C-alpha cells in the first residue's frame, strides 16, 4: 500500500521558485502541486502559530515517542515538499524579508483579504516593481474587483452560494436536503485552477519575459466547474435539481441497493445498457421503446429505475459486481476510505508514500496521481515543522549573516 520516498528532484518545474504566502487549503493545495512537480516552495508562516490548519485537529501527527505533535492531519494533507519560514508581515523587518525573497522567486501565491498585502508593500504592484518577471497569483473569495471583493468566504458557504449544494443531496420527494461535498472541494478546485493558470503564465513568460497578476476567486471557480449542470440550465432553461446519486443526463447512472449493501452503476451508452439488463435477467427492456436509447431512458427514468432496483435487491452486491464485470458493464462498490487504502490497487499504484522529518519518522502522504514518464513527481520533504527552514533560507537563499538573523529574531520579525 505504501513506499518510502526519495529526496531526488527531477521534476518538470525543477528550478522554479515559489513563495507561498497562502494558508488553509486553496493556496496550499496549489503550491503543493507545484512542489510535487519539482518547484522549490518556501512557505511563509506567522511566528508561533503558523498556518491555521496546523491546529485543526485531532487527529495529530505522532512524534517518535508516539506523542501528539502540534501538527494536524489536515495540515499534513497539503504542505509536503515545502520549506517553512516564519515572518511577521506586520513587522517592517519581517515584510522586508518577504520582499527580499520575492525578488528571487518566479511565483508568489497568496490568499489574503483583498488589499491586506498592499499595507505591507507585498501586493503585486509593489513586488513587480523589483521583479517584473514575477507571476503573482491571488486567491480570494470573490476576486480582486467588484462589489464583493472585500467580503470573506470559506468553502462551505461557497459550495452553497455557488450552486453546488443545490444539486448535491437526495431529491426533495425522497426527503433530501441540500448537502455539501465531504471535502472542501471549492477550495481544492480553486487551487487546481490556480495551478493551471500559474503554469500557463510560466509558459507565456518564456515569450514575453514579463510576469503577470492572476486573479482566482473561489466563487467563480465553483460556478465554472459545475460543467454540464451549468449548460443544462443555460441551454435547457430548467433549473437543475438534486437527484441524489443519479445523473441528470444519463440513465441508469446511480447507486442501487442490493440484498446486503449498495453498488454504483455507470451505464454510459446503449450497448452497455443492453448488456446490463441482460445481466439482470431483464432482457426485454433492451427492446422496449421506452428505453431504446438514452433520451428515452431519461424521459422514463422513474419506471426504469424501479424495475432495475427490484432486480438488484435479489442478490448481494459482490455477486452483482462479479456478473456486471463479466458483461463489461461499469460498476463498483461503495468503498470506505479504509477500503480504498486496503485494496491491492493502492499498493500496486503506490498511493501512499512515507516521509520523515526531525520529530517524526513515519509521515504518510497520499501520492500525487500524475505519472510522468521522464520528469517524475518527487516526495522530497515532509510537511515542515513551523519555521523549520527559517535560518537555512535566510542564510543560504538570501545570504543574510548570522548576526542579522539573530537581530531579526530578537525583534520578532521572524
Give the C-alpha separation, 414 to 412, whole Å: 5
* Residues 6 or more apart in contact with residue 230 via CB below 8 angstroms: 223
* Residues 6 or more apart in contact with residue 324 via CB below 8 angstroms: 265, 276, 279, 330, 331
Query: Which is catalytic among the residues 88, 187, 215, 359?
Result: 187
For the question of residue 361 being annotated catalytic, the response is no
Give the C-alpha separation, 380 to 370, whole Å: 16
Q: What angle do CA 61, 65, 71 make, to 5 degrees?
A: 20
Q: What are phi and psi of 159, to 5 degrees?
A: -55, -40
What DSSP string describes 84-139? EEE--TTSHHHHHHHHHHHTT-SEEEE-PPTTTGGGGT-SHHHHHHH-TT-EEEEE
* Residues 6 or more apart in contact with residue 383 via CB below 8 angstroms: 71, 75, 76, 78, 79, 80, 82, 355, 357, 363, 365
HSE of 279 in the Cβ direction (CA atoms, 13 Å)? 24
User: Which residues form the catalytic set?
Assistant: 187
Amino acid at each position: 500500500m505504501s513506499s518510502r520516498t526519495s529526496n531526488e528532484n527531477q521534476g518538470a518545474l525543477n528550478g522554479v521558485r515559489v513563495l507561498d504566502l497562502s494558508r488553509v487549503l486553496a493556496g496550499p493545495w496549489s503550491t503543493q502541486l507545484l512542489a510535487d512537480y519539482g518547484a522549490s516552495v518556501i512557505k511563509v508562516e506567522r511566528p508561533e502559530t503558523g498556518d491555521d490548519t496546523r491546529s485543526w485537529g485531532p487527529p495529530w501527527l505522532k512524534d517518535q515517542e508516539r506523542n501528539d505533535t502540534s501538527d494536524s492531519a489536515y495540515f499534513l494533507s497539503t504542505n509536503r515538499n515545502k520549506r517553512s519560514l516564519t515572518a511577521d508581515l506586520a513587522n517592517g523587518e519581517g515584510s522586508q524579508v518577504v520582499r527580499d525573497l520575492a525578488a528571487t522567486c518566479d511565483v508568489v501565491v497568496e490568499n489574503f483579504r483583498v488589499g491586506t498585502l498592499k499595507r505591507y508593500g507585498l501586493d503585486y504592484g509593489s513586488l513587480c516593481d523589483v521583479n517584473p518577471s514575477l507571476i503573482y497569483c491571488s486567491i480570494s473569495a470573490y476576486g480582486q474587483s467588484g462589489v464583493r471583493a472585500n467580503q470573506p468566504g470559506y468553502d462551505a458557504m461557497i459550495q452553497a452560494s455557488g450552486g453546488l449544494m443545490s444539486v448535491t443531496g437526495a431529491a426533495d420527494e425522497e426527503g433530501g436536503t441540500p448537502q455539501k461535498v465531504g471535502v472542501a472541494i471549492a477550495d481544492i478546485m480553486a487551487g487546481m485552477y490556480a495551478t493551471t493558470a500559474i503554469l500557463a503564465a510560466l509558459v507565456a513568460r518564456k515569450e514575453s519575459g514579463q510576469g503577470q497578476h492572476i486573479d482566482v476567486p473561489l466563487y467563480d471557480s465553483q460556478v465554472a466547474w459545475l460543467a454540464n449542470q451549468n449548460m443544462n440550465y443555460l441551454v435547457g432553461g430548467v433549473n437543475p435539481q438534486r437527484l441524489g446519486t443519479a445523473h441528470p443526463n444519463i440513465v441508469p447512472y446511480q447507486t442501487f441497493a442490493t440484498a446486503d449493501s449498495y453498488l454504483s452503476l455507470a451505464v454510459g451508452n446503449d450497448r452497455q445498457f443492453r448488456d446490463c439488463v441482460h445481466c439482470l435477467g431483464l432482457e426485454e427492456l433492451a427492446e422496449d421503446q421506452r428505453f431504446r436509447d438514452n433520451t428515452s431512458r431519461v424521459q422514463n427514468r422513474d419506471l426504469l429505475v424501479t424495475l432495475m432496483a427490484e432486480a438488484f435487491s435479489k442478490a448481494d452486491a459482490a455477486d452483482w459486481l462479479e456478473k456486471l464485470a463479466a458483461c463489461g458493464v461499469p460498476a463498483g462498490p461503495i468503498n470506505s476510505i479504509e477500503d480504498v487504502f486496503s485494496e491491492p490497487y493502492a499498493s500496486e499504484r503506490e498511493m501512499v508514500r512515507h516521509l520523515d522529518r526531525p520529530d517524526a519518522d513515519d509521515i504518510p502522504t497520499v501520492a500525487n496521481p500524475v505519472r510522468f514518464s521522464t520528469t517524475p513527481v518527487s516526495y522530497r520533504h515532509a510537511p515542515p515543522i513551523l519555521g523549520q527552514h527559517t535560518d537555512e533560507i535566510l542564510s543560504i537563499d538570501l545570504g543574510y549573516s548570522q548576526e542579522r538573523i539573530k537581530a531579526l529574531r530578537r525583534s520578532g520579525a521572524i
